[in-house]
Amino acid sequence: MSPHISLAGLPLENLRRKPFRTASLITVVAILSVAFFGGSMLAMNLNKGLTSMEERLGADLMVVPQTTESKAEALLTDGTPNTFYFTNDIESKVAKADGIAQITSQTYISSLAAACCAEKLQIIGFDPQTDFVIEPWVASQYDKTLGDGEMVAGANVNVSTDGTIELYGKTWPVVAQLASTGTSLDNSVFVNKATVPQMVAASAKVAKRVMPQEYASKAVSSVLIKVQDGYDAHTVADNIAKLDPQLASVGFVYPGGVTASTKTSLNTMLSYMLVFVVVLWVMGLIVMLAVFSSSVNERKKEFASLRIMGATRGMLISIVIREALITGLAGGVIGVAAASLIVFPFSGYIGKQMQLPYLQVGIGSILGMALVALVFAVLTAAVASLFVAFRLGRPEAYLTLREGE
Amino acid sequence: MKNKLFASIPSIVFGALIAIAPHTFAYVCKVEKMPMACHWTAQAEIGVGALIAVLGVIALFVAPQIRIGLNIAAVLGALLAIAVPTVLIGVCPGAMMHCHMVTRPTLIVLGVLTIVFSAIAIWLDSRPAKRV
């Protein structure tokens, strides 16, 4: 008994009988969907990383030792751990400048690789009494005061199951682990200032001392300043430089400027990505138009036969459009799945390679974007088929069928 | 012939990649004092990958019904290839470690691709033969 093909099942049967043409069309749509969904997810993750970075930069101005500005900037974005510090009491001198609303200091030490199989960590010593940058963030997840010898760990820090971390051959208790920010702060541990000398002493026992013992209790890597309303960070920096000849040579980092430059490089990259996706999409649309046209052209006799059997012009148009919709949907699903296999499992690696704040968006946004990508893929296939579908059925069916005789 | 190639080539390629990836392009951490979990994962994946590749080679010489069985075995092997770095042995817990960032996702992706291609091969081989 021969299989019965209904009008509703005809588009699927047509696609099945021409596997090479169908596979080619699905491949084109899948490539477009990979570019669209993958590109959009990267853009969304980068934007989320940037927003997170802006939230973490509570200071308007950082005073750092001469020539260490780039190291301090790297600390704010996505850089390697560093150790640098002033060798004199800088905070009290800087505090005398005009235009300062809040002032605090931090000490940065780069650890050795923490215990086994871990990368170097950035140790950040801060003063919980005066801090206005890290403390509010820590307070959102740990409501007690950080005790001496205790640590708060960034999201990527490998904390052992007993809630400790091994640094410089010593085990330190971790009282809280912070949420991911997409910046290098995720690879940092935070301690209070009183813990810094303990760390320096511990470092001397296992390797080269990270800083001379005499500086351990007073070393300051950066002075963070929130400027008063009506003052500009650059003006306050000038005021500081004029205070003392010693301060004339210090380095200044403007976290707002770091955010702005990161935003600029991010926007440049996003615009290149957008151009690439648009060009690819236009090319894909042209290829699909060409394939649909040639396919409809070579199937003229088939459509003429259907007309003679009683199919209306609308029915023929509907068959072609439904074939395109099935192709678009299949290509879209394959494309979204293929992009997901790259973007999600390799999220950490992509973030590291980009050297930009990169933070995975939530499941709701991912599902929403997948849906948009699918709709876009289906619409593209539908638009490509619409151009040729309306040419169908125009010639006389009998003449078409006798063509070439 | 087409079905035979589809049932064997992907298994051979992905099996070989699963076996060699943790030792080459998606390398794990170097053994220093004590071998870490990722080292044992890399060792285990040699066996799992080789098994999948051998199933692919055998599929070149057998009847379609047996190929279906071999591809079911390849799917189970791929599930094992995914379970080794995620559940059974694991990798280093540090999120920025190469084995965590590259090796584990690579093995997951290769495992998923093996499952997808094997499932398609099973479907192709289980279809009734074409009428002439």
Contact with chain B for residue A91, Cβ under 8 A = no
Regarding whether A289 and A202 lie in a shared domain, the answer is no
Contact with chain A for residue B95, Cβ under 8 A = yes
Task: Report if residue A2 sits inside a domain.
Answer: no
Task: Report if residue A43 sits inside a domain.
Answer: yes
Three-class DSSP category at A86: strand
Contact between B109 and A158 using a beta-carbon 8 Å cutoff? no
Contact with chain A for residue B113, Cβ under 8 A = yes
How much is the pTM? 0.75
Interface mutation vs chain A, best among B96, B99, B100, B110, most A CBs within 10 Å = B96
Regarding whether A157 and A69 lie in a shared domain, the answer is yes
Task: Report if residue A327 sits inside a domain.
Answer: yes
Predicted confidence pLDDT, tens digits, chain B (132 residues)? 778 888 899 999 999 999 999 999 999 988 777 788 899 999 999 999 999 999 999 999 999 999 999 999 999 999 999 999 999 999 987 777 889 899 999 999 999 999 999 999 999 999 876 654
The residues in B 38-77 lying below 8 A from A, measured between CB atoms, are: 38
Contact with chain B for residue A235, Cβ under 8 A = no
Per the structure, the complete domain to which residue A137 belongs is given by 61-253
Please report which residue ranges of A229-312 form alpha helices under DSSP H: 233-243, 255-298, 300-308
Give the residue on B whose Cα is nearest the Cα of A350.
B101
Contact with chain B for residue A118, Cβ under 8 A = yes
Which letter, b or e, does each residue of A357-386 get, where b requires 16 or more Cβ atoms within 10 Å of its Cβ? bbbbeeeeebeebbeebbebbbebbbebbe
Q: Are A369 and A274 in contact (CB under 8 A)?
A: no
Distances in whole angstroms, Cα of residue A383 to Cα of each of A172, A288, A362: 62, 10, 32
Regarding whether A335 and A312 lie in a shared domain, the answer is yes
Regarding whether A142 and A83 lie in a shared domain, the answer is yes
Query: Distance between CA atoms of A199 and A158, rounded to whole angstroms?
Result: 18
Among A253, A273, A298, residue at a domain's last position:
A253
Query: Distance between CA atoms of B27 and A74, rounded to whole angstroms?
Result: 27
Contact between A352 and B96 using a beta-carbon 8 Å cutoff? yes
Among A199, A227, A253, residue at a domain's last position:
A253
Please report which residue ranges of A189-254 form alpha helices under DSSP H: 195-206, 213-216, 233-243
Q: Are A176 and A152 in contact (CB under 8 A)?
A: yes
Contact with chain A for residue B93, Cβ under 8 A = yes
| CA proximity to A125, closest of A135, A112, A115 | A135
Nearest-CA distance A76 → chain B (Å):
17
Q: Which residues contact A401 (CB under 8 A, 6 or more apart)?
A: A301, A304, A305, A308
pLDDT of residue A119: 63
Contact between B109 and A155 using a beta-carbon 8 Å cutoff? no
Contact between A348 and B100 using a beta-carbon 8 Å cutoff? yes
Chains A–B, number of C-beta pairs less than 8 Å apart: 50
Among all chains, which residue has been given the structure tokens 């991010």? A266
Which residues in chain A have Cβ-Cβ distances shorter than 8 Å to B104?
345
Regarding whether A179 and A85 lie in a shared domain, the answer is yes
pLDDT of residue B25: 93
Strand pairing class (A100-113; A120-126): antiparallel
Contact between B102 and A346 using a beta-carbon 8 Å cutoff? yes
Task: Report if residue A3 sits inside a domain.
Answer: no
Contact between A116 and B34 using a beta-carbon 8 Å cutoff? yes
pLDDT of residue A1: 46
Which residues in chain A have Cβ-Cβ distances shorter than 8 Å to B99?
117
Number of Cβ within a 10 Å radius of residue B2: 8
Regarding whether A224 and A311 lie in a shared domain, the answer is no
Interface mutation vs chain A, best among B101, B112, B114, B130, most A CBs within 10 Å = B101
Give how many domains chain A has, as a whole number: 2
Nearest-CA distance A156 → chain B (Å):
5
Tokens of B58: 């055998």
Tokens of A2: 């021969």
Residues of chain A with pLDDT under 50: 1, 117
Contact with chain B for residue A116, Cβ under 8 A = yes
Regarding whether A288 and A207 lie in a shared domain, the answer is no
Task: Report if residue A176 sits inside a domain.
Answer: yes
Nearest-CA distance B75 → chain A (Å):
18
Query: Distance between CA atoms of B93 and A169, rounded to whole angstroms?
Result: 19
Task: Report if residue A221 sits inside a domain.
Answer: yes
Contact between A348 and B95 using a beta-carbon 8 Å cutoff? yes
Task: Report if residue A218 sits inside a domain.
Answer: yes
Three-class DSSP category at A89: coil
Regarding whether A65 and A39 lie in a shared domain, the answer is no
Q: Where are the domains of chain B?
A: 2-126
Among A236, A253, A270, residue at a domain's last position:
A253
Edge-to-edge strand order for the sheet containing A61-64? A164-167, A170-177, A151-153, A188-192, A120-126, A100-113, A222-227, A61-64, A251-253
Which residues in chain B have Cβ-Cβ distances shorter than 8 Å to A153?
none
Regarding whether A89 and A45 lie in a shared domain, the answer is no
Regarding whether A238 and A198 lie in a shared domain, the answer is yes
Give the residue on A whose Cα is nearest the Cα of B93.
A158
Q: Which amino acid type is present at position B40?
A: W
Query: Distance between CA atoms of A353 and A102, rounded to whole angstroms?
Result: 36
Task: Report if residue A294 sits inside a domain.
Answer: yes
